[in-house]
Amino acid sequence: MDAKMILRMNAADHEISYANNSSFQKQVILKIRPIIEESITDAFKKIAPVCMKVADLGCSSGPNVFLAIWHILDTVHGICQQEQLKLPEFEVLLNDLPENDFNFVFKSIPGFYERLKKERGDMLQERCFIGGVAGSFYHRLFPTKSLHFVHSSYGIHWLSKVPVGLEDNKGNVYMARSSPPSVFKAYADQFQKDFTNFLSLRSEEIMPQGCMVLTCVGRKNPNPSKEIMVGICYPNPFLTWLWRLYIYLFISLYFLTTLSIIEAIKTMKTCFLWTIYMG
Ligand SMILES: C[S@@+](CC[C@H](N)C(=O)[O-])C[C@H]1O[C@@H](n2cnc3c(N)ncnc32)[C@H](O)[C@@H]1O
């Protein structure tokens, strides 16, 4: 069966739910808040839309869903107050795979509106419209040139399928010390294909001057078997010391509209090297 029809995080009412086990991912979103603010400020000032269209890809089901969205709304709200500009309306589209616990997401929306109203006032709350989009971000999800801002945290390292060529990965379910080089290459090749596809699709959907902030797991060491990967599937606050997190991807580029995909990939390689260097 197609992976996108099976994959999902445990639902919010599951004994071991993503909602109760995503504090590490929360820290990631908090850490990149300044990057989100900088990008959204830049995009908002350049485009000044009447309705700002924002998408969160791989939103999952849990408290993190609304964290980045809050940062985005709050930033634009702050700019408008400071510079006495008219507050735009916001269309916020939350995406995940079809099996995601969207019931939890939708049931949480009234609470989010309530908090917006209480902490930022009626004006912002009344201008915010949240909806869900079920589907894989490895396919088209939104109409052509319809989005101003795309955010995705901790999702794009999920591949679209099991890489081809893992037959020699005996006794392992992922890259391990004993995995032969062909296995590392198979994962890298699949990531390259998927990510190129992802960028190409988003380049259709994001409007000129729009931007995108992506965060995902990276590694400092070029040899994946030397790094501990335990936390990636089962994040646990007590294991965070094992983690080597590198927010290695920050894109607030206009490449989607102004550069070719090849140039974009070159730019990202530079970002990767920069964060590895900084790491
Ligand atoms: C680790 S969770 C991150 C959730 C949330 N963004 C956060 O930071 O807490 C990764 C999410 O990406 C979703 N995902 C994985 N592959 C996807 C795809 N191809 N299209 C859409 N969502 C996907 C998973 O279902 C999962 O909910």
In a domain, 46, yes or no: yes
Spatial separation of the C-alpha atoms in residues 174 and 184, rounded to whole Å: 9
In a domain, 11, yes or no: no
In a domain, 245, yes or no: no
pLDDT for the residue numbered 272: 43
In a domain, 173, yes or no: no
Of the candidates 183, 193, 190, which has an alpha carbon nearest to the alpha carbon of residue 225?
A: 183
Looking from the CA of residue 152, the nearest atom of ligand 1 is: 6
Which residues does ligand 1 sit against, CB inside 6 Å? 4, 7-9, 22, 25, 29, 57-60, 64, 95-97, 100, 136-138, 153-155, 158
pLDDT for the residue numbered 235: 36
What predicted TM-score, i.e. pTM, was given to this entire model?
0.80
CA distances from 252 to 100, 106, 135, 168 (A): 27, 29, 24, 39
Instruction: Give the range of the structural domain holding residue 75, as residue numbers without chain letter.
Output: 18-163+187-238+254-277
Judge whether 248 and 216 are in contact, CB under 8 Å. Answer: yes
In a domain, 2, yes or no: no
pLDDT for the residue numbered 250: 41
Cα dihedral across residues 141, 142, 145, 149: positive or negative: negative
The preferred substitution site among 60, 136, 197 for testing ligand 1, maximizing ligand atoms within 8 Å of CB, is 60
The tally of domains found in the chain comes to 1
pLDDT for the residue numbered 210: 94
pLDDT for the residue numbered 257: 44
Angle at CA of residue 87, ends 85 and 89, nearest 5°: 150
Q: Whose CA is nearest to atom 5 of ligand 1?
A: 59
- Distance in Å, CA 222 to ligand 1 centroid: 25
CB neighbourhood size of 133 (10 A): 16
CB neighbourhood size of 199 (10 A): 19
pLDDT for the residue numbered 16: 74
Secondary structure element (H or E) that encloses residue 55, with its range: strand 51-57
Give the three-class secondary structure for 147: strand
Q: What is the pLDDT along the chain (279 residues), one digit of tens a residue?
A: 666 666 667 777 776 777 777 788 888 889 999 999 999 999 999 999 999 999 999 999 888 989 999 999 999 999 999 999 999 999 999 999 999 999 999 999 999 999 999 999 999 999 999 999 999 999 999 999 999 999 999 999 899 999 998 988 888 888 887 888 899 899 999 999 999 999 999 999 999 999 999 998 877 765 655 554 433 333 333 333 333 333 334 444 444 444 555 555 555 544 443 333 333
In a domain, 112, yes or no: yes
Q: Whose CA is nearest to atom 18 of ligand 1?
A: 136
Counting Cα atoms < 13 Å in the Cβ hemisphere of 238 gives: 0
Which residues pair with residue 150 across a beta bridge?
A: 55, 212
pLDDT for the residue numbered 254: 40
Spatial separation of the C-alpha atoms in residues 88 and 68, rounded to whole Å: 18
In a domain, 247, yes or no: no
pLDDT for the residue numbered 3: 67
CA distances from 270 to 112, 142, 221, 276 (A): 37, 29, 16, 10
CATH of the domain at 61: 3.40.50.150
Looking from the CA of residue 235, the nearest atom of ligand 1 is: 1
